[in-house]
Amino acid sequence: MSFPKYKPSRLATLPQTLDPAEYDISLENRRAQVERLAIRARLKREYLLQYNDPNRRGLVVNPALVRWAYARANVYPNCRATPKNSLLGAVAGFGPLILWYYILKTDRDKKEKLIQEGKLDRTFSLSY
């Protein structure tokens, strides 16, 4: 039975067993994995030292969280005006205004024309 080829997409990534990088046992890859593990072990040690310190009274502050929150909050200083940015901003800013102006205007003009000709049913009903 032949299976269709699994193509990864943005919301469905390639499973680890189908990924050729998983089976890469070259020296450089192994060295990279060892370095990453060393970093992770060092961080784990720092965390556990703080966590299990009997004199600690408060929270263990996660600097990665602080950096993440700071980066997300301070987007503006790193922004600058590029053509793509400005275009996107103009479209998002003025687009809806113009679009809704035209939709509402044409709809109301049509209604007004019908009212002037007396063709619209304008009987009043309070609740329905």
Partner 1 sequence: MLPGPYPRTPEERAAAAKKYNMRVEDYEPYPDDGMGYGDYPKLPDRSQHERDPWYDWDQPDLRVNWGETMHWDIDMYTRNRVDTSPTPISWDDMCKQLFSFVAFMMFMFWVGHKYPVYQPVAPKQYPYNDLYLERGGDPSKEPKLVVHYEI
Residues that bind partner 1 (CB under 8 A): 4-15, 32, 35-36, 39-40, 43-44, 46-47, 60, 62-68, 70-72, 74-82, 84-85
Residue 7 or 122: which CB sits closer to partner 1?
7
String of b and e for 23-52 (b: at least 16 CB within 10 Å)? eeeeeeeeeeeeeeeeeeeeeeeeeeeeee
Q: To the nearest whole angstrom, how small is the minimum distance from the Cβ of residue 25 to partner 1?
A: 18
Q: Which residue has the tokens 């680890």?
A: 16
Q: To the nearest whole angstrom, how small is the minimum distance from the Cβ of residue 121 to partner 1?
A: 29
Residue 57 or 119: which CB sits closer to partner 1?
57
What span, in angstroms and rounded, lies between the C-alpha atoms of 61 and 111? 62
Residue 32 or 98: which CB sits closer to partner 1?
32
What span, in angstroms and rounded, lies between the C-alpha atoms of 34 and 25? 12
Q: To the nearest whole angstrom, how small is the minimum distance from the Cβ of residue 120 to partner 1?
A: 31
User: Helix, strand, or coil here: 12?
Assistant: strand
What span, in angstroms and rounded, lies between the C-alpha atoms of 57 and 96? 53
Q: To the nearest whole angstrom, how small is the minimum distance from the Cβ of residue 7 to partner 1?
A: 5
Residue 43 or 120: which CB sits closer to partner 1?
43
